[in-house]
Amino acid sequence: MSNPAKISLRNVHKAFGPKKVLQGVDLDVAPGESVAIIGGSGTGKSVTLKCVLGLLTPDQGSITVDGIDMTDASQAERDAMLAKTGMLFQGAALFDSLSVWENVAFGLIEGRGMKPRDARDVAIARLEDVGLGSDVANMSPASLSGGMQKRVGLARAIATEPEILFFDEPTTGIDPIMGDVINDLIVKCTRELGASAMTITHDMASARKIADRVAMLYQGKIIWDGPVSEIDTADNPYLQQFVAGDIEGPLELDLKHL
């Protein structure tokens, strides 16, 4: 391959006891590409992301980042991968014991050894990038609205100028208008960094906006993978049911396991 994938999953399997969640996931994210993994509740989107982040170990298969297999990487290789990674967590996951700017600057001070005064300036610039003024810098995250917390989480994710960004359900828990603001900011920040991005979401509006390419996870496999421009016309009944949000169709809802 002339342009090797930034992130590559090959035949990834993960089970919990008898429950086979991932059953041979294959997926590539090219350098500078934004890929959204879509799928219903309980299909294994979070498990996939956790495997890539090294929080779960796959039972089988490989996950390479910049050509290094993370499934048998050394701690130093894992740390190097995380150092070039930014992550926006589902609930923003800010530290309430730290101020907003300290949250944004955390990776710069703890990871990069930047002096707090310099890191504060960078944090305030990143807050501006996501539309927040310096007036919020000294506030506690707990005093901010959900949408503002997401934006602080995004400012933190981009603070170290990572090569790879992970977005975990970025629009969950906020209203659709703020969700759209977050989507626009994600696109802007990812493009400005030239980062590769992997987003897990069940929000099609978000996937349409954020992603260059969409991969649909169902019954442990990627059952469709293609450009976002093709999701409405692709000849795949599972994808079409999910995109339309129809109750009737080939997708089976296993309510016992959701």
Ligand X SMILES: Nc1ncnc2c1ncn2[C@@H]1O[C@H](COP(=O)(O)OP(=O)(O)OP(=O)(O)O)[C@@H](O)[C@H]1O
Residue (117 or 257) nearer to ligand X, CB: 257
Q: Toward ligand X, which CB reaches closer, 43 or 183?
A: 43
Closer residue to ligand X (CB): 55 or 125: 55
C-beta of 43: minimal distance to ligand X in Å? Answer: 4
User: Cα–Cα distances in Å, from 85 out to 73, 91, 107, 226?
Assistant: 16, 18, 10, 24
CA torsion 250-253-254-258 (nearest 10°) is 140
Give 91 or 131: the residue with its C-beta nearer to ligand X. 91
CA 26 to chain centre: 17
Packed helices 146-158 and 176-193: angle between N→C axes, nearest 10 degrees: 10
Q: For binding to ligand X (CB under 6 A), which residues are involved? A: 16, 21, 39, 41-47, 202, 257
- C-alpha pair distances (Å), 34 with each of 96, 199, 232, 239: 30, 8, 18, 19
CB of 162 to ligand X, least distance (A): 22
> Rounded CA gap, 208 and 10, in Å?
25
Smaller CB separation from ligand X, 44 or 153: 44
Name the minimum Å distance from CB 81 to ligand X: 21
Taking Cα atoms as reference points, which of 255, 55, 244, 62 lies closest to residue 166?
Answer: 55
Cβ 166 to ligand X shortest distance, Å: 13
Indicate the residue among 34 and 201 with the shorter CB distance to ligand X.
201
Choose between 192 and 246: whose C-beta lies nearer to ligand X. 246
Q: How far is the CB of 246 from ligand X (least distance, A)?
A: 18
Q: Any idea of the CA torsion for 222, 19, 165, 126, to the nearest 10 degrees?
A: 140
Q: Does an H or E element contain 177, and which?
A: helix 176-193
| d(C-alpha 147, C-alpha 153), whole Å | 10
Q: What DSSP letter does each residue of 75-116 carry, written as one string?
A: HHHHHHHHHTEEEE-TT----TTS-HHHHHHHIIIIIT---H
Contact 8, 66 (CB under 8 A): no
CA end-to-end distance (rounded Å), the chain? 39
User: Taking the complex as a whole, how short is the minimal distance between the CB of residue 115 and ligand X, in angstroms?
Assistant: 39
CB of 87 to ligand X, least distance (A): 15
